[in-house]
């Protein structure tokens, strides 16, 4: 049997009832084979980062234990995105569901389809704040404490709207 790994997933949506998409995605991720949601962050509203005028996002994070290899986990998350009508036409465009692997154990992964740690993790407060809710003492693979990154980024543009998913 494969070893369990702790992974952290970012969730986001800004189209077609975003709160419904991210909440349903939590349950769908928890239903993946050999995967269990350990903790979920409260949801945050944040301004969209990307081209043109876009609706605000709902963002959150999950802590998982999984026996799925990182690439299989990625493919499973993309299947969930597709089931929610995800379109990949414009980079950083509006979307019904965005699921990103932020961290997969202490692994550093660089393939054509997956980069872990997520390359923008340390630059986006709408990722760092939810992640800090589920892993406040987390130290990133580069040795930096997540709390330090959180303090540097600040909470400008974020509004916590509370926890609406519980496993």
Catalytic residues: 86, 95, 98, 100
C-alpha–C-alpha distance, residues 144 and 139, integer Å: 6
Residue 156 DSSP label:
T
- Which residue's entry shows tokens 């349950």? 27
Runs of H (alpha helix) within the chain: 18-30, 70-83, 125-134, 146-153
Show the tokens assigned to 93: 């465009």
Can you give the three-state secondary structure of 4-46, one letter per residue?
Answer: CEEEEEEEEECCCCHHHHHHHHHHHHHCCCCEEEEEECCEEEE
d(CA 133, CA 142): 20
Cα→Cα distances 135→1, 49, 111, Å: 26, 24, 26
């Amino acid at each position: 049997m494969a070893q369990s790994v702790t992974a952290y997933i970012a969730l986001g949506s800004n189209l077609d009832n975003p709160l419904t998409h991210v909440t349903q995605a939590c349950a769908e991720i928890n239903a993946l084979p050999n995967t269990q949601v350990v903790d979920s962050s409260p949801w945050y509203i944040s301004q969209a980062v990307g081209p043109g005028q876009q609706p605000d996002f709902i963002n959150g994070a999950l802590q998982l234990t999984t026996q799925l290899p990182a690439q299989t986990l990625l493919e499973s998350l993309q299947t969930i995105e597709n089931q929610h009508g995800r379109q990949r036409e414009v980079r950083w465009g509006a979307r019904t569901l965005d699921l990103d692997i932020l961290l997969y154990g202490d692994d550093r992964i660089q393939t054509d389809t997956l980069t872990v740690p997520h390359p923008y993790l340390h630059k986006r407060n709408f990722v760092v704040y939810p992640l800090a809710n589920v892993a406040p003492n987390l130290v990133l693979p580069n040795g930096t404490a997540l709390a330090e990154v959180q303090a540097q980024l600040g909470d400008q543009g974020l509004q916590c709207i509370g926890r609406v998913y519980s496993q």
